[in-house]
Amino acid sequence: MNKIILSTFLALAALANVVIFGQAQHKTKSNISGNGPIVSGAFSQPLAVSWFYPVDTTHFNQVADNDRVYVPSADGTVICLSATKGDLLWKSAPVADFTADPLLVNGELFIAAKKGTSPTDANAGILRAIDTKTGVTLRSTDFPRPLTSMIIQAGIIYAGSEDSKVYALRVDNGSTVWSFQTGASVHGRPLLRDGKIFIGSDDKNFYAVDAASGKEIWKIQTLGKVTGLATADSKRVYFGSSDGFVYGADIAKGKIDWRVRTGATVDAAPINFDRRVIVGSYDNFLYALREHSGDIIWKQRMGNRIVSSPLVDNGTALVAPLRSTKLSVLDLRDGTLLNETKLPEDAGEIVSAPSHQGQRIYISTDLGLLALSSNAKIGD
């Protein structure tokens, strides 16, 4: 896409965005307390198009810091772009297929992928640490099977793997601190809270594992694979399953307090808000559940499957359904649709979770990476 076409594209997109939000502003409700001024915050005003970078993306998430955004591309390279202008800063050497969302910490980008395409490497995995300034691989660690999910905390990477294990790995050299065996591939995403790792497995169980030792604390059996990320408060941990249920479980005892059926797989991570659990389902609905009982407070039908958590700010939620061409803002108090914004015509369809850094929101589509800016930092 040359600069003239891109400039015209952005100008038209920004104009379309203003018109759409201008119409939607008439629908804006009161703030979350139910009285007082109009909703304020990151989603109360139009999201302006900052830039669009055409690239063959994947369903794995982009990550960003204040200056740069890093995008896993379908050709096995990582694309590093300027956060302000979307200019290409570097492109890494190609690797085999990505297998997990990248992680960013202390100037290093951690990339999990298949080791290669040869018969000896086809089933193996590799974890690379890439210099965020140059894109050069600093070190790598091989694994019997690819890693599927990762988080980093206090110098330790906690990761699920296709070899049915959960790993604790040292950030500095990739060595294994401990591994925990489940009954099938682990595509669940780990949550670390109060010294415990909470993670689901394809064996249909949801586990609590001691983060220091890797010993099982408890497990809960569901009727389907547990592949999403959980959330937790001081009393309960909340998670979804491909059996279509959302679960609320006693965090100390590992016993189910309640479960609520949706119409399809629940893979999106629940969110805690105002004594409610906000969670999306493949049935196209976003649900608000009472945290102590699971009772449905409201549900709102969206334009397509919800496979990722919404971005939340000041009692509102920005929802980006999979394969949709629009973003929707809901009032978390009652599920009312506050406004919608259509993506620029040539930007494609949403393929991964939205992310944010400061006042900028990033969305990967099947045609590239779109950066939008809000009038306030999310969460302020």
**Distance separating alpha carbons of residues 289 and 106, to the nearest angstrom:** 37
Model pTM score: 0.88
Q: What are the CA-CA distances from residue 117 to residues 76, 100, 137, 149, 175 (Å)?
A: 12, 17, 19, 21, 24
CB 132 within 8 A of CB 169: no
Q: What is the pLDDT along the chain (380 residues), one digit of tens a residue?
A: 444 444 444 444 444 443 333 333 333 333 333 333 345 678 877 688 899 999 999 999 999 999 999 999 999 999 999 999 999 999 999 888 999 999 999 999 999 999 987 777 778 999 999 999 999 999 999 999 999 999 999 999 999 999 999 999 999 999 999 999 999 999 999 999 999 999 999 999 999 999 999 999 999 999 999 999 999 999 999 999 999 999 999 999 999 999 999 999 999 999 999 999 999 999 999 999 999 999 999 999 998 999 999 999 999 999 999 999 999 999 999 999 998 888 998 999 999 999 999 899 999 999 999 999 987 888 76
Could you tell me how far CA 268 lies from the centroid of its own chain? 8
**Which residues have a Cβ under 8 Å from the Cβ of 126 and sit 6 or more positions away?**
95, 96, 112, 113, 114, 115, 140, 141, 142, 143, 146
Identify the structural domains of the chain with CATH numbers, from first to last.
3-373 (2.130.10.10)
Residue carrying structure tokens 């203003």: 18
Phi-psi region of 294 (alpha: psi -120 to 50; beta: other; left: phi over 0): left
* 145 CB-side CA count, 13 A: 15
CB neighbourhood size of 15 (10 A): 12
DSSP string, 192-245: EETTEEEEE-TTSEEEEEETTT--EEEEEE-SS---SB-EE-SSEEEEE-TTSE
